[in-house]
Each structure stands twice: as C-alpha cells, then as structure tokens.
Amino acid sequence: MTTPDTIQPAHRHLWSGFSTDDPKAEIGVLGVPFDGATSFRKGASFAPSKIRELTPHASPSTEEGISLAGLRVRDYGDVFVDLDWKRYFKTVEARAQQVLNHHLAIFLGGDHSVTIPLTRAFSAAVNGKFGMIHIDAHLDLADTFEGSRWSHACTQRRVLELPNIDPQHLAFVGIRSFMDDESEFLAGHPEIEVHTARDVHVQGIEKVALSVVKQLQGVNAVYVTLDIDALDPAYAPATGTPEAGGLSTRDVLELLREVFSNLSVRALDVVEVSPPLDHADITSVAAIKVIYEAFGWVHAKDSVNPQ
Ligand SMILES: [Mn+2]
C-alpha cells in the first residue's frame, strides 16, 4: 500500500539518508557553532543546524549524475558552545580527533577562528607534513586582532605555528582584502602563494588550481578551509564580513575538483555561513553543494580503493 511515508523520496533524511553510526564511514562530520570571534555581523553559530536541516533536500548524487549510493556519513553532532573560549577550543580539538579517523572530516563552522583548534587536531593526526588551502576573501594572517590571538582574523598565523606545516605549503585563493600587518608578513614570506580573486578572474580558475596542486605536491595530507566569504556576495550574501568582487560557486567547485583529484585532502571546513543574514538559504545551499561534491570525490576514490 502506498502511504505518505513511502511516497517520499528515500533521501528525505539527514545527509540524504547517508547518515550512519558506522565507525568505518567514509565521511565524518562535526559542527562547531561558535561565532564569538566574529568581528562584524554574527550568526555563523546557526550554520551547522541550518545546513543539516537542508540536507534531506540535497539530491543523493554529484552534479554530473554519479550516484552517491552506498556512501556513509557519520555525524558527530555539534561541540556546544562554552563561555570559556580557551576551554571550548580544547574541547573542539579533542572532539575533532575522532572525526579525523574518517577518510574525510567535514567541519561546519562557526566563524573562522574554529579552524585554529581544528588544525591543531589535524596537525596531531597527520603523520608527516601537511598543506593548507585557505579559500577566503581575507588572509586571516594577523598576529592579533581586537586584542586576541584567536580571532577569526588570526587563523593562518596560528596554523603556521604548528610543527608540521611549512609556509610554502600554505596557499590562498580568492583574496581581495589586506591589512598592513598581513602584507608585511607576506613580504617576509614570498614562498606563500596568494591567488587573489582578480588572479582567478584574469587567469582562470584552472590555471590557479594547477598552481595550487603543484605547490602542495609532497605533503602527506591537505586541509582545505573554505570561508564562504571567498564567494562573491552574489553567491553567498550571508556572511559576517562580505567583500564584493569575489569567486563564483563554479570557481570554487572547479578548484576543489582539481585539488581533491590530485592531493590527499583529509579535512574540509566550511565556515562563516550566517543563516540569519541569508536570502532563500542561498549561502547554505552553496556550502551544501561544495560538501556534496566532496562526498562524490571521496566516494569515487573509495570505490577504486575500498578501505
Ligand atoms: Mn576567513
């Protein structure tokens, strides 16, 4: 008999029905709903719940029609916010370790400061050197910002203090805003590659993607951090610190397609999505598209080399 339950498409569940408790799941997910470091407009703390809420409406396939059937996603829930910032980051770091056991860890921010404890966990989990791809309108390279070393404007300075990353293995894409101390830091580190949003416009994303892949050859694992403000506000209006003149969703998908195909990406975070600032969930939907394509890239690799 056809009941209202059976006429619903099978994917009308969390993570399109791929959610599982299986510790061998290809994908691990952790939400970090913290926006205590946001310097302008807040709301990123609502992103993990909004993104999950929309996943039953995400098609269980890649954009090219490759089925994701059989994919397993283990969602570890959120690291609930603690008013003690230092203690919170310690908890995030500890909770992230488990998620990093999966082929790909996906972290849902939160503002960009959450990448600080997440990369600490990543650094400890990686055997050997790791590389970092920072896709953002901003460098987040300030040593301190608004009196804190843990601001969302300081993320990459803290990452560069980790023991197993070298500056030449840090790549920026989408940049279109600089602070003086960041420019000074970059002048002292010419080995760090910065691909501005204008570079992407002038050279094309394929050329930039190939350059990033070449730069990160030789590292054992790669962490990709996607600040949604890398996208132009036309594609991602709901973010705390928007900057006009940015990347398209297409640019980011093409960049990541190249990166996932050629490098050992073990973690992807998507930060600074601020649902209260959104229109028709356009920004969350962009985040979900990137995440689901990443599912597809991992699924394709695991089909060839099952764990
Ligand atoms: Mn950022």
Ligand 1 centroid vs 261 CA: distance in angstroms?
A: 24
Question: How far is 55 from 179, CA to CA, in rounded Å?
Answer: 37
Rounded to 10 deg, the angle between the 85-99 and 115-125 helix axes is 40
Q: What is the 86 CA–ligand 1 centroid distance (Å)?
A: 20
- Is the Cα torsion angle 204, 165, 142, 87 positive or negative in sign? positive
Instruction: Give 160 Cα–ligand 1 centroid separation in angstroms.
Output: 15
Task: Tell me the per-residue pLDDT of 27-57, one tens digit each, with 9 for 90 and over.
Answer: 999 999 999 877 788 999 999 999 999 999 9
CA distances from 107 to 67, 166, 167, 243 (A): 23, 23, 23, 23
Is residue 267 over pLDDT 80? yes
- Right CATH number for 14-304 from 2.40.50.140, 3.90.1150.10, 3.30.428.10, 3.40.800.10? 3.40.800.10
Residue 6: pLDDT band by 50, 70, 90 thresholds?
confident
Partners of 38 in the beta sheet? none
**What is the mean predicted confidence (pLDDT) over 273-281?**
98
Cα 277 to ligand 1 centroid, rounded to whole Å: 17
Ligand 1 center to residue 223 CA distance, Å? 14
Token digits of residue 196? 């501005």
- Residue 5: the pLDDT is 66
How many A from CA of 2 to the centre of ligand 1? 49
* Other CB atoms within 10 Å distance of the CB of residue 86: 9
Determine the distance separating the centroid of ligand 1 and the alpha carbon of 152, expressed in angstroms. 6
The Å distance, Cα 6 to ligand 1 centre, comes to 43
Positive or negative, the Cα torsion across 248, 249, 250, 254? positive
Separation of CA 174 and ligand 1 centre (Å): 11
For residue 219, give Cα distances in angstroms to 214, 254, 260.
11, 21, 14
How far is the C-alpha of 229 from the C-alpha of 232, rounded, in Å? 7
pLDDT tens digits, 105-129: 999 999 999 999 999 999 999 999 9
Residue-wise pLDDT tens digits, 129-143: 999 999 999 999 999
Question: Domain-by-domain residue ranges, the chain?
Answer: 14-304
- CA 140 / ligand 1 centre spacing (Å): 6
Beta bridge partners of 105: 28, 267
Q: What is the pLDDT of residue 301?
A: 79
The reported pTM is: 0.96
Least confident stretch, 145-159, 220-234, 244-258, 276-290: 145-159
In tens, the pLDDT along 161-196 reads 999 999 999 999 999 999 999 999 999 999 999 999
Res 2 pLDDT > 80: no
Instruction: Give the distance (Å) from ligand 1 centre to CA of residue 153.
Output: 6
Predicted confidence (pLDDT) per residue in 81-93, tens digit: 999 999 999 999 9
State yes or no: pLDDT of 281 exceeds 80.
yes
